[in-house]
Amino acid sequence: WTDITDRKRAEAELQAVNQRLAEQAGQLMRVNADLEQFASVASHDLRQPLRMVASYLGLIRRDIQTQASPELREYLGFALDGAKRMDRLIQDLLDYSRSGRHSDAEAPVDFHQAVQEALQHLQPVIDEQGGEVIVAETLPILSGHRDDVVRLFQNLIGNALKYRTPDRPPRVQVGCQRDGQCWRIWVADNGRGIAEADRERVFKIFQRLVPSSECEGTGIGLAVCKKIVENMGGRIWIDSVPGQGSTFQVSLPVD
Ligand code: ADP
């Protein structure tokens, strides 16, 4: 008799736990959808007035060039830099909320071409840093969204250039290898590296390992990369030797 009542009670408790879990999962999904919607709407609504502020500040700076005191010119420079940083944050938030949501179907993406496109966007940074990016002659063609793949490489190679060490120019290598049913594609750098304890958390949104005073950023880029890779059915992780460099590894299933 006791066995039966115990079993029934346990079953009832299990059912209650399952129900609570299902409710919480539903709530989380709703919160997530709300957040994504908020990010998208807020970003659009914030961006327009911000661009207006920036362009008027630019005009004021141009027009008062000769009469203004050095202090005033400096303050205007700060204001313009702030507007630029905020615009970057909005762009990254938009990328985060958009990544993984596409109305169009997946199509074959030539990864080599996607890397070349990412490099075009990054060319000013490469030149400024005196950096070198070496790309394997062939990279796979996999099913996905071209914009996402370009964004993935833009973020990874951009970081590889940004988180350099002061003593050597950045050197970045993009390579790939077929591992059974997957392609492993990597972006390796000779930068400052990432401690083992930090290698998972950097993929979470707003996680940064350096203060903005040292190196500017929003802490969104790698969260976007993770979303993109997981959407393609793959995974992303880091191998690194602190002080010597990091290798961001992306494993994607063959279609
Ligand atoms: P952001 O670069 O805007 O801060 P990310 O999400 O792209 O945001 O990166 C999160 C953090 O991970 C960075 O702030 C940096 O501390 C660290 N990081 C990313 N890429 C590298 C890299 N290649 N080498 C060293 N640290 C890196």
Mean pLDDT of 75-99: 87
C-alpha torsion angle, residues 22, 27, 29, 34 (rounded to 10):
170
Nearest to 207 by CA among 195, 198, 194: 198
In tens, the pLDDT along 192-232 reads: 999 999 999 999 999 999 988 888 899 999 999 999 999 99
Please state, rounded to an integer, the average pLDDT across all residues of the chain. Answer: 91
Atom 3 of ligand 1: nearest residue by CA position: 217
Q: Is 159 in the pocket of ligand 1 (CB under 6 A)?
A: yes
Residue 127's pLDDT is what? Answer: 96
- Whether the predicted pLDDT of 131 surpasses 70: yes
Q: Is 170 in the pocket of ligand 1 (CB under 6 A)?
A: no
Q: Which of 89, 161, 209, 225 to mutate to test the pocket of ligand 1 (most atoms within 8 A of CB)?
A: 209
CA distance 101 to 104: 9
Q: Which of 202, 228, 229 to mutate to test the pocket of ligand 1 (most atoms within 8 A of CB)?
A: 202
Atom of ligand 1 nearest to the CA of 207: 10
- Whether the predicted pLDDT of 8 surpasses 80: yes
- Whether the predicted pLDDT of 113 surpasses 90: yes
What pTM was estimated for this model as a whole?
0.82
DSSP 183-195: EEEEEEE-SS---
In tens, the pLDDT along 14-64 reads: 999 999 999 998 888 888 778 777 777 777 788 889 999 999 998 988 888
CA distance 107 to 10: 49
Count how many residues are written for the chain: 255
Atom 23 of ligand 1: nearest residue by CA position: 160
Lowest model confidence (mean pLDDT) among 16-30, 91-105, 144-158, 191-205: 91-105
Check: complex ipTM more than 0.90: yes
Q: Is 216 in the pocket of ligand 1 (CB under 6 A)?
A: no
